[in-house]
Amino acid sequence: MGQTITEFIANYGELMLEGTRDTLVMTGVSTLLAYVLGVPLGVLLTITGAKSIWPNRPLNTVLGWIVNIGRSIPFIILLVAIIPFTRLIVGTSLGVEGAMVPLVISAAPFVARVVEQSLADVDGGLIEAAQSFGANNWQIVTKVLLFESLPSLVRGAAITFINLFGYSAMAGTVGAGGLGDIAIRYGYQRYEYDVMLVAVILSVILVQIIQSFGDWLAKRIDHHAR
Amino acid sequence: MIQFEHMKKSYGVGADAHEVLHDVDFTIHDGEVFGILGSSGAGKSTLVRTINLLERPTGGRILIDGVDISNATGKELKALRAKIGMIFQNFNLFQQRTVLRNITFPLELAGKPKAQRVARAERLLKLVGLEEYADRYPSQLSGGQQQRVAIARALANEPKIMLCDEATSALDSTTTVQILDLLRRINRELGVTLVVITHSLSVARNICDRVAMIDGGNIVEMGETAELFANPKSDILKALIASAEEQNGRDEDEDGTPVAPAAGAAENEEAR
């Protein structure tokens, strides 16, 4: 405590930089992969609904269960519980790679719900219009449902990213590093409050930037009157 | 030619089954403007949707140009729908697509090359008087302009039949007349058969060659428009005409639409 800014940067600058990088890589890649799994899941949840274009009650129910189960397991428990699976996929349960597997697994069901919500907002009249021009279900999904809800999907992606940003703090448990891990190790366990504070401030700034960027992008691509 | 042969439509199965169209049996000829007049819940929307199988008949059959389409699926269904354009009360334009890309949408579905799509869309924009609006988005247009875009989109595949589902119900009276004029022009110049669903007597009177009155899922009467309205037989049509005449005392009919088409009504509308 009581050190100058120059001293702080000399002592901890590299740590902070590394933490920021780890957090962004972990969160960014996990968000991306969670979308690779979550979008098809969300689309299936939507179109298998009773009044949608491909009603299938059993499939809809089973998918609903999977998503709900996935969403109800606390992340820290999932993180530990799937260690064997994580090893199978990335060869290790430690570090940034080791953390990304549980992050993706925990975020995918969340993404599915966020995507489902976005698609639900697409006017049913547009689907009917597309059908009247001979669109098949694949064309309706890609050219109507996903395309028309793009701005809403972007907003959802910002929310997902920020959620995973928070989860990634817990990934420190498996030695994944990142800003959250720094805050916990230095502040909570070693009482180095200035290190904790800087890590937290950096986190706040990053979250602000991501949310603002998401809002800006969604607004920019949205042509719907609101 | 569209032939309904003892066509029925019900929802649900077994004890829950609920029939909404009973034994519909009539023919719409090529090149005519055929009106289906009825109040909400009469079954007119369902009826028109059986023509492009957005609703599948549960009894009888429908023939288009002599071919039974009732059970069309897959490619056959796609081809059928491409031949039939459709416009809607709420326009149903894609909000995230420009006017041009709305019009090219049916051609995109059909896998037409881009240059061809754009060329066709530009011709259609000219036809509906919106050449300047290709790069706008629907939210930047007035209701009448949006319906013009929807009409252009419905014509993209050069259909022989166009279904109009309460196409002017969301529009004010002046705009209604302009849209009806445009539809009439499309019928005359392009020879497109129009099937017009409406609850409005004046719309039927303004544009339709023949009208079928539908009530409670039954066609209660049908005939040449002028003749039918001069000599109504069903109680429902008599009541409709009486209430329209009552309101004519106030110079307007039941939904505020002038009865006579304003000749050469101004085609240009201000954007909102």
The partner residue sitting opposite B54, judged by closest CB among A128, A148, A221, is A128
User: Which parts of chain A sit beneath pLDDT 70?
Assistant: 1-2, 226
The answer, yes or no, to whether residue B264 has pLDDT greater than 50, is no
pLDDT tens for B216-257 read 999 999 999 999 999 999 999 999 998 888 877 665 544 545
Please state the pTM of the whole predicted model.
0.90
Q: Report d(CA A146, CA A144) in Å as an integer.
A: 6
B147 close contact with A: CB closer than 8 A: no
Q: What's residue A108's pLDDT?
A: 97
The three-point CA angle A67-A68-A72 to 5° equals 120
H-run or E-run covering B238: helix B235-248
Write down the pLDDT at residue B179: 97
Q: Which residues of A touch B54 (CB under 8 A)?
A: 128, 131-132
User: Measured between CB atoms, which of B54, B96, B108 is closest to A224?
Assistant: B96
pLDDT of B271 higher than 60: no
pLDDT(B83) > 50: yes
Q: Residue B206: is its pLDDT beyond 70? A: yes
Q: How far is Cα A208 from Cα A181, in angstroms, rounded to an integer?
A: 19
Q: Which residue of B has its CA nearest to A130?
A: B106
Q: Does A91 touch chain B (CB under 8 A)?
A: no
pLDDT given at position B164: 98
For A77-103, the pLDDT digits (tens) are: 999 999 999 999 999 888 888 999 999
| Angle, CA of A89, A93 and A96, to the nearest 5° | 95
Task: Identify the pLDDT of residue B250.
Answer: 63
Subunit contact A136:B95, Cβ cutoff 8 A: no
Type of residue numbered A211? Q
Of B92, B95, B105, the CB nearest to A224: B95
- Is the minimum CB–CB distance between A32 and chain B shorter than 8 Å? no
Residue of A126, A133, A219, A220 to mutate, testing the B interface (most B Cβ within 10 Å of its Cβ): A133
Q: Among B261, B223, B254, which Cα is nearest to B39's?
A: B254
Token pair, residue B135, equals 């790069």
Torsion angle of the four alpha carbons B237, B241, B246, B250, in this order, in degrees rounded to the nearest 10: 130
Chain B partners within 8 Å of A130 (Cβ): 105, 109
Contact A134 B108 (CB under 8 A): no
User: Measured between alpha carbons, how far is residue B75 from residues A53, A132, B71 in Å?
Assistant: 17, 14, 12
Mapped onto helix, strand or coil, the DSSP state of residue B25 is strand
Q: Which residue of B has its CA nearest to A136?
A: B78
pLDDT of residue B40: 86
Please indicate whether, in this complex, the C-beta atoms of B84 and A151 are within 8 angstroms of each other.
no
CATH number at residue A171: 1.10.3720.10
Binding-face residues of A in 131-190 toward B, CB within 8 A? 131-136, 139, 143-144, 147-148, 150-151
Q: What is the pLDDT of residue B248?
A: 73
In 3D space, the residue among B145, B196, B52, B198 whose CA is nearest the CA of residue A129 turns out to be: B52
Please answer whether residues A117 and B82 qualify as being in contact, where contact means their C-beta atoms are separated by less than 8 angstroms.
no
Judged against a pLDDT cut of 90, whether residue B103 lies above it is answered with: yes
Q: Which domains does chain B have, with CATH numbers?
A: 2-8+31-93+161-248 (3.40.50.300)
B79, B84, B109: residue with CB nearest A135: B109
pLDDT level of residue B262 (50, 70, 90 thresholds) = very low
Summarised one tens digit per residue, pLDDT across range B149-179 is 999 999 999 999 999 999 999 999 999 999 9
Instruction: Name the helix (H) or strand (E) containing A172.
Output: none
Residue from the list B81, B96, B139 with its beta carbon closest to the beta carbon of A133: B81
| Domain annotation covers residue A226 | no
Contact A104, A82 (CB under 8 A): no
Q: What are phi and psi of A213, to 5 degrees?
A: -65, -45
Which residues of chain A lie closer than 8 angstroms to B138, CB-CB?
223
B162: CB partners within 8 A, 6+ apart = B84, B85, B86, B87, B154, B155, B183, B186, B192, B193, B194, B195
| A/B interface, count of CB pairs below 8 Å | 69
Q: How far apart are CA B81 and CA B70, in angstroms?
A: 12
Q: How many domains does chain A have?
A: 1
Q: Which domain holds residue A211?
A: 5-221
Return the pLDDT at B270: 41
> A131: closest CA among B56, B210, B145?
B56
pLDDT at B272 over 80: no
Residue whose token pair is 């002028």: B226
Residues of B numbered 182-221 whose beta carbons fall under 8 angstroms of chain A's beta carbons: which are they?
A: none
Query: pLDDT of A164-179, one tens digit each?
Result: 999 988 887 778 889 9
Residue A192 phi, psi dihedral angles, 5° rounding: -90, 80
Mutate to test the interface with A, among B92, B117, B136, B169 (most CBs of A within 10 A): B92
State how far the alpha carbon of A135 is from the alpha carbons of A140, A142, B49, B104, B118, in Å. Answer: 6, 10, 15, 13, 19
* pLDDT of residue B130 exceeding 50: yes
E strands along B38-138, which residues?
59-64, 67-68, 84-87
Look at the alpha carbons of A191, A192, A198, A199 in this order and tell me if their dihedral is positive or negative: negative
Q: A interface mutation test: which of B50, B88, B94, B163 has the most A CBs within 10 A? A: B94
Residue B100 has pLDDT above 90, yes or no: yes
Q: For residues B187-196, give the mean pLDDT.
A: 97
Is the CB of A126 inside 8 Å of chain B's CB atoms?
yes
Single-letter amino acid, residue B261: P
Interface test with A, best of B83, B109, B120, B157 (most A CBs within 10 A): B109
User: Within 10 A of B62 (CB to CB), how many other CB atoms are there?
Assistant: 22
Phi, psi dihedrals of residue A14, rounded to the nearest 5°: -65, -40
| ipTM confidence | 0.90
For chain A, what is the radius of gyration of the CA atoms?
21
Give tens-digit pLDDT for B35-69: 999 998 889 999 999 999 999 999 999 999 999 99
Structure confidence by residue, pLDDT tens digits, A39-50: 999 999 999 999
